Amino acid sequence: MAPRLELQTLLESITENVYFQPPSNLRMVYPCIVYQLETVRSEYADNRPLWHTKRYQVTVIDRNPDTELPDKVVELPMSEFSRAFMADDLNHYVINLFF
């Protein structure tokens, strides 16, 4: 399975509504997780890429301010909580995840 699809499956084990780079006209169901590729980190040896790691921006969106979903995402390996904010009466929790 492709790594991004593995990530999709992993996030779906946390909540069933998971969206990868959703278009603006998509009507999302909450609570949900939205994620997108943010950057690729590379390490080099002898002027050649040795390995690459992709970093995804994972956003948990929920009406409940006390949701446990962000905690479950942060428990994943190589993840780090970035920030939280409210928009459109929804709570957003942004987590950076290397996968």
Do the Cβ atoms of 37 and 97 come closer than 8 Å? Answer: no
> Backbone dihedral region of 46: left (phi > 0), alpha (psi from -120 to 50 degrees) or beta?
left
Query: Do the domain assignments include residue 83?
Result: no
Provide the domain count of the chain: 1
Q: Going by DSSP bridges, is the β-strand pair 18-20/32-45 parallel, antiparallel, or unpaired?
A: parallel
Predicted local distance difference test score (pLDDT) of residue 1: 66
- Predicted pLDDT at 10: 96
On whether residue 52 sits in a domain, the answer given is yes
Q: What is the mean pLDDT of each run of 10 residues along the chain (99 residues)?
A: 90 97 95 96 85 93 97 96 97 97
Q: Cα dihedral sign for 13, 20, 85, 75?
A: positive
Quick check: is 47 in a domain?
yes
